[in-house]
Chain A
Amino acid sequence: MGTQCTGTGSWPNCSTSTCWATPPTLDSDLSQGIQPVQGLALCTLSTMGSAEMCRDLAPEVEKLLLQPSPYVRKKAILTAVHMIRKVPELSSVFLPPCVHLLHERHHGILLGTITLITELCERSPAALRHFRKVVPQLVQILRTLVTTGYSTEHSISGVSDPFLQVQILRLLRILGRNHEESSETMNDLLAQVATNTDTSRNAGNAVLFETVLTIMDIRSAAGLRVLAVNILGRFLLNSDRNIRYVALTSLLRLVQSDHSAVQRHRPTVVDCLQETDASLSRRALELSLALVNSSNVRAMMQELQAFLESCPPDLRADCASGILLAAERFAPTKRWHIDTILHVLTTAGTHVRDDAVANLTQLIGGAQELHAYSVRRLYNALAEDISQQPLVQVAAWCIGEYGDLLLEGNCEEIEPLQVDEEEVLALLEKVLQSHMSLPATRGYALTALMKLSTRLQGDNNRIRQVVSIYKSCLDVELQQRAVEYDTLFRKYDHMRAAILEKMPLVERDGAQADEEAKESKAAAQLSEAVPAPTEPQASQLLDLLDLLDGASGDAQHPPPLDPSPGGALVYLLDLPCAPPPPAPIPDLKVFEREGVQLNLSFIRPPENPALLLITATATNSSEGDVTDFICQAAVPKSLQLQMQAPSGNTVPARGGLPITQLFRILNPNKAPVRLKLRLTYNHFHQSVQEIFEVNNLPVESWQ
């Protein structure tokens, strides 16, 4: 009896055949009218009821829905939820009682009913439409709960039955989504709940949170949306960390759609960067980055850069790249942009993405008025710290390019700096020799030294010495460079100045280069995708070939193409940027019999002179359909033939849709092209076979 079902939770799920609670037993448990037994039976059914059990016992559960005892009814309702999940067709059984059950006052039954309706609506658009009509009733229930339904039995921290409130709000969300009328009906109530719910404890905040989620998901008035965002903003100031967490997560979801409303809470969001809990500070970072725009970029960057200096290591990379991206999008001036990148490189150099170096050199190169400024700042930064590789690389490049500006001494934007040549060379040498420098960095440094040989006034002995030393460096790349530079000094000194001139600005079309690379890769793959020959077709062609060439029947038969999917050969024709095609080659009619015609048209793609593409078109002007049309072809040994699958094998009568088939002939020796064709088809209830040679192909097709 009751003891049969104890410890339901620890049983395996019902997919194992060891489940012994067979329907007859449960059936009798359900119907025998002893409440605890019924309750346990329903519990068992709901936890581990298989699809068959659910189907069998649905009528029993339906009966229990209408029983007087709330204890059994509330369980029956939730069992119905499970049954619908297992057997969706049972929705039709459990949908009708719902509207009636909504009139109940027992909280447990009401809660179960709302859960059941939610489940029904989530599963079926028809149910969703059906239940829209209860929106007013739901609104009323919730309103009563909030205003007058205060009962100590069901309330938590002074909030009336928060579980029920949340469930109703969830259902309202589903019903109001994308539906103007329903959304409007619940508008006032949502505003009421949003403003009147006590927020001192978690229970109230849970209801408020659900309200916010609902407001944001339905078609609510603009004012209501702003109210919701403001509630989230208030959440951010709550001392409870959990509340702050849900606020940050929700605001992150809303920042795109309700940007200006969220912007108002920017200062609070920025404060949340200081959170000790990493999951909160991470969300605050993401949100802060999403809130940067052209008007607040300077202030935000300051905050974010301050954060970068002290943030936990796992957030550094995201913060750095976020700052760089935002800087790129919203930089007010180039100088600010350069400063920002510089700062990021000095603070978190090891965490930036690979393209940061290229981006910065690009940026500096393009800002001619800032060359002097940049090189000075970078020189100072480098002098302080040679460990951050991206920074060192950019600095070395810059010093190499603009070393002359560095030594000039005058730049209004920073304090005057007196640098002499020896110091500059010493710094670069230090970078070269440091064990912290990556091979790429050392390459930058060596090249910079080399460039300075034309930028500096003094003699180049020191530079020549360094270059000479590195001729025997173990790093091959460095060694190669050193040897080249040394040769430049010794044998090509007259060219040195020209070679080491300032670099022109690199075109920033990295994206386009990628596209082209992809296209050429795709084309290469397609040409590789020429599949292996199939046996039967090959032997038939061999027969034809014998007729053509007679002697030396070796295995050099042209491999026919398997029907390639999606016209791959035709795609190869669509090569981009093809020059205008030469004059078209005239078509050739090669066959005619009783209204059935075969026509050949020719294309020679300019990029590949050895290739000839023939399209054979079969048309039918007669009164009878042509069916089972097969065309086979053979060419002389010196040529290669590949045939694509025909477009079909039926040509309807009286000018119906023709059949086309593509032949691909490779003719590298420009030999005269000859074809032998074999046609078989059914026409006027007769099978036709025709074999013939085509020798009169236009000269342009093979010369």
Chain B
Amino acid sequence: MSLGNIRQGKLRLQKWYLATSDKERKKMVRELMQVVLARKPKMCSFLEWRDLKVVYKRYASLYFCCAIEGQDNELITLELIHRYVELLDKYFGSVCELDIIFNFEKAYFILDEFLMGGDVQDTSKKSVLKAIEQADLLQEEDESPRSVLEEMGLA
């Protein structure tokens, strides 16, 4: 399963749960982007691509795409995408594309708290957000709180 955001053809995030070579990934991303961007607004959120099903949803200027296998449930995948967007929204506070561009590692981190190996880890929004909060705190503790001036002994 892979997840990517694109806008006018720019890939912002991608997560691969299947081992593929870089070259193959680039090719797949290009293809997928072409196919999804060609969709008209009144079309349904599912399309068939290669031997997979692609579930996509547009949120403002971003497309969120998820490739699933033949026996997977498309409707629950839509919920999955929505949940991820909700998590981003809650964390960043009314998330917009810039948030994702400048804090992409956080976006990945949130994704990694929500999904693992392509499967949902925790179905509680609260639980996921709490974990991210704690990780943030941990990072802040770890990072030295001293400013440059302090280090030079001038503050």
Contact = CB atoms under 8 A, between A and B. Distances in A.
B135 A2 contact: yes
A426 B17 CA distance: 70
A206 B79 contact: yes
A3 B105 CA distance: 11
Contacts of B149: none
A202 B138 contact: no
B76 to A, nearest CB: 4
Contacts of A3: 139, 142
Main secondary structure of the interface of A (DSSP, over half): helix
A203 B45 contact: no
A602 interface: no
A280 B40 CA distance: 14
B105 A162 contact: no
Interface residues of B, number: 44
B111 A9 contact: yes
Contact of B131 (A1, A13, A71): A71
A13 B20 contact: yes
Interface residues of A, number: 60
Contact of A36 (B42, B43, B73, B138): B138
A246 B44 CA distance: 10
Contact of A13 (B19, B73, B78, B123): B19
Contacts of B138: 2, 36
A7 B123 CA distance: 23
A279 B117 contact: no
Contacts of A85: 117
A81 B79 CA distance: 22
Given A7-B108, A242-B46, A156 B117 contact: no
Contacts of A209: 73, 75
B116 A75 contact: yes
Nearest to A153: B124
Contacts of A75: 116, 121
A46 interface: yes
A683 interface: no
Contacts of A242: 44-46, 74-75, 78
B99 interface: no
A174 B44 CA distance: 29
B105 A107 contact: no
Interface in B121-136: 121-127, 131, 134-135
Interface of B: 13-17, 19-20, 22, 42-47, 73-76, 78-80, 83, 105, 108-109, 111-112, 116-117, 119-127, 131, 134-135, 138-139, 142
14 contacts: A2-B142, A75-B116, A78-B121, A79-B116, A108-B127, A153-B124, A154-B123, A156-B79, A163-B80, A170-B73, A206-B73, A209-B75, A210-B76, A246-B74
- Closest 8 CB pairs between A and B? A206-B75, A108-B122, A78-B116, A206-B76, A9-B108, A13-B19, A241-B44, A245-B44
